[in-house]
Amino acid sequence: MCGIGSALVDVLVEASVAEVVACGLVKGSMQLMDLESAEVVHARAPGGVERSGGSVANTVAGLASLGARAGFIGKVADDRFGRVFGAGLTELGVAFGRANGVGATGRCLILVTPDADRTMCTTLGVAATLGPDDLDEALIQRAAVTYLEGYLWDEPQAKDAFRKAIAVAHAGGGRVAMSMSDPFCVDRHRAEFAALAARDLDILLGNDAELCSLMEVDDLAEACRRVRRPGLIVSVTRGALGAWAFEGTDGPIVEVPVEGSPRVVDTTGAGDLFAAGFLFALCRGSELQACARLGNLTAAEVISHVGARPEHDLAAIAATVLEGVEAR
């Protein structure tokens, strides 16, 4: 598995809903901002814990924890945050296809409210300058699946990097997956995301709000009907309701509920770790039911504590779901 995304360091801060609103933020959303604006927000909600993050990087970390051979391609600067980010991957055994940039490593200020929701203020820094020449093609060619981060589509040169990555992955016989990342991200790039889903992607992952936005409908079942095409696997997370998954034009929608009553402390990384479980199982030839079930369980682990990286042995969870399934 190889992920391509924003190399960011998360700064997690506990905040009240009133503080989020006072900062002029939309609760539960991700907003891009410059470093000065992010520091103003941080001053209103001070403190926090620094951890290596980034949406697809979190997924790759989850894959490594599950036992997959994983790599990540992203751009950092030669600064403290760049070292924090790199260490967070290498200690997990992830191959880091590091691209170096001049400036500051990206960071994401995450305000975690008492209801476990998270509001993100993202300063991309040099992560936003990732381009085609920054790709480690060898990592992509070795990967069974290359996973792309929708957030990066905000940057023109990153779009070119995505298109090159898609071509390299398909030429090597691999599949390409993409995260829709955020409903606001889908709103900004609806036509282009829809075109990618219609012809370039093999796997599309997102939540119900993102898919409905992509297909411009309010009904999830109708959104699923509209996005279908031969060969496309789609996974849709639905929060406490679990997940849906389906393949092709007429495959049944597999509905997989959440198991038990997961402890919810911080929902940061829930979708990222769902993707890790789903893709891990898929690459081992599992049926969609098992893929979504493992995704639900890995997401449940990450929301049980603060931060978007797993703290418990995900491989043990995978073993219970995928017993008897061989990697392919």
Show the domains of the chain with their CATH numbers: 54-103+125-321 (3.40.1190.20)
pLDDT for residue 326:
46
**What per-residue confidence (pLDDT) applies to 61?**
95
Nearest alpha-carbon partner for 309 in 110, 46, 104, 64: 64
Q: Is 154 left (phi over 0), alpha (psi -120 to 50) or beta?
A: alpha
pLDDT score recorded for residue 325: 53
Residue 327: predicted pLDDT: 43
Residue count of the chain: 328
pLDDT of 312: 87
Res 324: pLDDT:
53
Between CA 213 and CA 190 the distance in angstroms is: 8
Which has the closest alpha carbon to 201: 250, 236, 162?
A: 162
For each successive 10 residues of the chain (328 residues), what is the average pLDDT?
95 93 91 90 88 93 96 96 93 94 93 92 93 97 97 91 97 97 93 97 97 97 98 97 97 95 88 97 96 97 89 91 61
| Eight-class DSSP state of 326 | P
pLDDT score recorded for residue 268: 83
What does pTM read for this prediction? 0.90
User: Does residue 134 contact residue 113 with C-beta atoms inside 8 Å?
Assistant: no
Q: Is the distance from CB of 99 to CB of 125 less than 8 angstroms? A: no
